[in-house]
Amino acid sequence: MHLRIWPQAFIGRVILVLMCAVVLEFIGSSAVYEYVEVKTTRLSQAQRVAEQLVVAAGVMNDTPPEGRAEASHELSTEGVRVTWQSISPLPKAHKNSELAKLAADMRRWEPTLDEHLRVDFYGGSPWAESMRLMGSVKLKDGTSVLVISRSEATPWATVLAALGSAAVMSIGLVVASTLLLRSLGLPLRALAQAAESVGKGDPIYVREEGAGDLRRVAHAFNAMQTRITELLAARTHALAAVSHDLRTPLSRLRLRAGLVKDRETRAALEQDVEEMADMLNSLLAYLGGAEDGEAQRLVDLAALCMTIVDNATDAGGRASYEGPDHLSTRLRPSAVKRAIDNLVQNALIYGGGADVSLSIVGDRVVVRVCDDGPGIPESQMARVKEAFTRLDDARSRNTAGLGLGLSTVEKMTVTEGGEFVLANRPEGGLCAEIRLPYRA
């Protein structure tokens, strides 16, 4: 499964950016805070160790060797431990620049500390070492006194405190940003849904609310959709007027052709009139599209396909049907019937026959119309769906029509929320598929 790290939603992307900013702020502030805290603690420890060393050295020099162990115990406190040893475990010179600086500061604070002062970190892990400081000086008899200072605070405590602070800030930031972005994202989502519905039925107007910019966008979209609706309505009325005005003279031509005495001339005239009527019907079907006012309803698609095949067979064509006897789904019956009939007629004219099949594939109803014709070149598959397109190398120029059959099918399928696919068959011929959503 492909894991998408970058969110696709607008709100998710903004929240992710804000969280990245919080994480970077936490890392930076923790590093700075830890550095300052450790530096301050070390300076305080160094000053405490220097003071204790001066006191311990004075006491140990005045105490006999047999009493120095008890004296070091008396000098020790909860945070500072004093130890007397005959040999100092500290190095002779400071290789660490930070330790050398601490030793110089301690000599500056306590001038009685001589060059024999040594400073080192003491403990197990590096984190513990950085918070435990050990100092040593030589006594008059060559032995050494050690003072170990332990700090209650540790860098881990600093990091955990900063982490808790960052977590509280992150939760508050996510809650606040989610509330804010919902007020921005919901209007945008409603706008996207309304935009997808344009041209697919009744217009959906967006509520003009939210921020000023969003209200202006919603107002502009509603105004645009009003203009589109008015334009489509005007086109529908114009198509109705053209249909009425052109069908009337065609009817007169058909009547007058019947008065011609010469049989061949009469047949030619009637054929021309029928061809003009078919062109007009195909043009009106293509331009009408979803604006014909037809609503979706539950239809037996299997019965519709069998009816088309029976009509083609009765007209003398070779057509067959394969599929269930009944298959009900919600669609616009007239538009779907017109699209399937276009495919069947194309298969009969250009492929010599039409093999219609109906099946359910996943959540789609698939109507497949196949023929045994020459097919379509692969390079022309997309172009053949365009309006007023005819392929000379695959279709005869002597056939009727304006080249709107496949484009009408494509438009109907998109309006129904489906997909129209053309493919050449391996054994020869063309296979056209209408894939519609299955709405039982």
Which domain CATH number covers 348?
3.30.565.10
- What is the per-residue pLDDT for 171? 77
In order of 341, 349, 404, the CA distances from 373 in angstroms are 17, 9, 19
For residues 365 and 329, the answer to whether their CB atoms sit within 8 Å is yes
How confident is the model over 361-378, as a mean pLDDT? 89
Residue 149's pLDDT band, with cuts at 50, 70 and 90, is: confident
**Range with the poorest average pLDDT among 103-107, 187-191, 365-369:** 187-191
How confident is the model over 363-371, as a mean pLDDT? 93
Cross-strand partners of 85: 144
Residue 96, domain member (yes or no): yes
- What is the per-residue pLDDT for 37? 61
The pTM for the full model equals: 0.46
Nearest to 151 by CA among 80, 100, 53, 54: 80
- What is the per-residue pLDDT for 299? 92
Nearest to 346 by CA among 306, 300, 403: 403
Residue listed under structure tokens 């959503």: 437
pLDDT at 394 over 70: no
**Residue 387: CA atoms inside 13 Å, Cβ hemisphere, count?**
10
Residue 77, domain member (yes or no): yes
d(C-alpha 378, C-alpha 203), whole Å: 38
Residue 349, domain member (yes or no): yes
pLDDT at 384 over 80: no
d(C-alpha 304, C-alpha 297), whole Å: 13
User: Which amino acid makes up residue 286?
Assistant: Y
Q: β-pairing, 319-322 with 354-361? A: parallel
Residue 311, domain member (yes or no): yes
Q: In the chain, how many domains are there? A: 2
Residue 232, domain member (yes or no): no
* Per-residue pLDDT reduced to its tens digit, 249-267: 878 888 888 888 888 888 8
Spatial neighbors of 251 by CB under 8 A, at least 6 apart, are none
pLDDT at 422 over 50: yes
DSSP summary character for residue 206 = P
Residue 125's pLDDT band, with cuts at 50, 70 and 90, is: very low
Cross-strand partners of 150: 132
- What is the per-residue pLDDT for 121? 73
Of 156, 188, 217, the position where a domain reaches its end is 156
d(C-alpha 404, C-alpha 420), whole Å: 15
Long-range contacts of 118-123 (CB under 8 A, 24+ apart): 118/88, 118/90, 118/91, 118/92, 118/94, 119/46, 119/49, 119/90, 119/94, 120/90, 120/91, 122/148
Residue 195, domain member (yes or no): no
User: Which amino acid makes up residue 70?
Assistant: E
How confident is the model over 337-355, as a mean pLDDT? 88
Task: Tell me the two tokens of residue 144.
Answer: 């050494």
Containing structural domain, residue 63: 10-156
Of 138, 156, 174, the position where a domain reaches its end is 156
Task: Tell me the two tokens of residue 10.
Answer: 């607008």
Of 156, 172, 192, the position where a domain reaches its end is 156
For residues 254 and 266, the answer to whether their CB atoms sit within 8 Å is no
Nearest to 306 by CA among 339, 349, 337, 343: 337
Residue 3's pLDDT band, with cuts at 50, 70 and 90, is: very low
Share of the chain above pLDDT 70, in %: 72
Rounded to 5°, angle at Cα 70 from 67 and 76: 135
Chain centre to alpha carbon of residue 129: 49
Chain centre to alpha carbon of residue 300: 38
Task: Tell me the two tokens of residue 124.
Answer: 């197990």
Task: Tell me the two tokens of residue 18.
Answer: 């804000």
d(C-alpha 256, C-alpha 245), whole Å: 17
- CATH number of domain containing 53: 3.30.450
For residues 63 and 72, the answer to whether their CB atoms sit within 8 Å is no
- What is the per-residue pLDDT for 95? 60
Could you give the 3-state DSSP secondary structure of residue 297? strand
Residue 274's pLDDT band, with cuts at 50, 70 and 90, is: confident
Handedness of CA 233, 238, 243, 244 (dihedral sign): positive
- What is the per-residue pLDDT for 417? 85
Residue 4's pLDDT band, with cuts at 50, 70 and 90, is: low
pLDDT at 142 over 90: no
Nearest to 119 by CA among 89, 101, 99, 92: 99
Residue 246, domain member (yes or no): no
**Residue 91: CA atoms inside 13 Å, Cβ hemisphere, count?**
11
Residue 91, domain member (yes or no): yes
